[in-house]
Amino acid sequence: MRHRVVLIPGDGIGPEVAKAAQRVTDATDVAIEWDVRAAGASVMEREGTPLPDDVLHAVRETRTALKGPITTPVGTGFRSVNVALRQDLDLFAAVRPARHYPGVPTRHPGVDLVTIRENTEDLYQGIEFERGSARTEELRDALVRLAGYRIPDDAGVTLKPISVSGTRRIVRFALDYARRNGRKRVTLGHKANIMRFSDGVFVNTARQIDRDEYPDIDIEEMQVDQLAMTLVQEPETLEVLLLPNLYGDIISDVAAGLTGGLGLAAGANLGWEYAVFEPVHGSAPDIAGRGIANPLAMILTAALMLGHLGEHDAADRAERAVANLLEEGATLTPDMGGTATTDEVAVALVGRLRGEGSP
Ligand code: NAD
């Protein structure tokens, strides 16, 4: 079966790592028809927008995209492309595996966890009141009436909505993910003792869905500060983390750092209908165009995509090729202590997948 996938190379090192990922994916012999679309700073001038309509249409058609990093335009009045994709395609779940591969320096060998982060609500919803503005003044007055509390007149405010409906879908998504991937325990991070009416909704909704619909999976509730400590002390005990937006953003970076950092961190933004796979790292303008970007995060991201397309064997082979390369340690880019170029890493992986060189 032939899969159609939109490839958005992106900005900075994006095209370099995207090309490497495309070559390695093709070397798995899964038939993919790549629909390459430009988005980001590179098309701003020509198209007048960093996210031309044809890109969104193409993703709606294929339902799956592999995306390189995109430079967030500052002060142009445009939404970040990443935020626009997330909102327009309703990609409510951010999924980031953090697995340790032998050969990568770490204090914690054996880590193999996945962070699932709610992607649309919480403090990131963008409901903000600027310090000193008339709207904030109105809010202050309303809060005196509604909550009997006057916030200081020099305060700025960001609101934290967490809904039952928004929580339901991320909880079901996480529990389905655990079930599909043979994981028995999902650790839910929260601070419901302090934020009773936002994190409280998250915890109570999850508890009920778990009890009623997923008796085979345990949800372990953990305060997010304790979760942070567990992550640095015994991360190998964690399987799947389920977190509201802000905690998820922070905790998933800690998990990535524990297992090798930006050069290896793969990710996906998923909804019920569409899937956009992208590495965690940005466009790295400091090294763009030099041919030394580490393509492994993008390649592991492509492997996640293969799994999503049902090509589990190809996904496993691509990941094993990366693991093998890391263990051998001979063909790595400078960020991982090696001297190889992006292309050399891609060639080494293609060779492994085609059965030349090391198994
Ligand atoms: P960055 O991830 O681009 O770079 C941080 C550091 O890590 C830099 O020193 C960079 O050289 C290094 N690095 C990152 N990826 C690497 C790789 N694959 N190989 C080798 N070294 C790598 O973060 P930043 O500098 O904060 O952001 C740069 C731009 O990227 C900004 O415009 C930011 O908004 C954007 N960004 C986009 C995304 C995305 O599209 N999903 C994510 C993060 C940042």
DSSP 250-280: HHHHHHHHHTT-GGG---EEE-SS-EEE--S
**Which residue's C-alpha comes closest to atom 18 of ligand 1?**
294
Residue of 335, 296, 339, 340 whose CA lies nearest to 318: 296
Hey, which residues are catalytic here? 124, 191, 225, 249
Distance 314 CA to ligand 1 centre (A): 28
Residues 101, 232: Cα–Cα separation, whole Å: 17
Whole-number pLDDT of residue 359? 45
Nearest CA to ligand 1 atom 8: 284
Q: Which residue puts its alpha carbon closest to atom 38 of ligand 1?
A: 282
CA-81 nearest atom, ligand 1? 40
pLDDT of 102? 96
Whole-angstrom distance, CA of residue 288 vs CA of residue 198: 41
Angle at 226 between CA 248 and CA 176, to 5 degrees: 45
- Parallel, antiparallel, or unpaired for β 240-243 and 112-118? parallel
Contact 25, 302 (CB under 8 A): yes
What's the CA gap between 118 and 246, in Å, rounded?
Answer: 9
Q: Pocket of ligand 1, candidates 70, 281, 294, 336: which has the most ligand atoms within 8 Å of its Cβ, to mutate?
A: 281
- pLDDT at position 356 is 63
pLDDT of residue 103: 94
pLDDT per residue of the chain (359 residues) written in tens, 0 to 9: 899 999 999 999 999 999 999 999 999 999 999 999 999 988 988 888 899 999 999 999 999 999 999 998 776 677 788 888 998 999 999 999 999 999 999 999 999 999 999 999 999 888 999 999 999 999 999 999 999 999 999 999 999 999 999 999 999 999 999 999 999 999 999 999 999 999 999 999 999 999 999 999 999 999 999 999 999 999 999 999 999 999 999 999 999 999 989 999 999 999 999 999 999 999 999 999 999 999 999 999 999 999 999 999 999 999 999 999 999 999 999 999 999 999 999 999 999 999 865 44
From 116, 115, 127, select the one nearest 198 (Cα to Cα): 127
| For the CA of 335, the nearest atom of ligand 1 | 20
CA 207 and chain centroid, separation: 25
Q: Distance from the CA of 328 to the center of ligand 1, in angstroms?
A: 26
Residue from 74, 76, 283 whose mutation best tests the ligand 1 pocket (most atoms within 8 A of CB): 283
* Orientation of helix 245-258 relative to helix 224-233, angle to 10°: 10
Separation between Cα atoms, residue 323 and residue 227, nearest integer Å: 28
For residue 263, what are its two tokens?
């050069």
Integer angstrom CA distances of residue 183 from 57, 206, 280: 35, 17, 23
Give the phi and the psi of residue 58 in degrees, each rounded to 5: -60, -45
- Nearest atom in ligand 1 to the alpha carbon of residue 69 is 40
218, 186 Cβ separation under 8 angstroms: yes
Cα distances (Å, whole numbers) of residue 239 to 242, 257, 270, 354: 10, 16, 19, 32
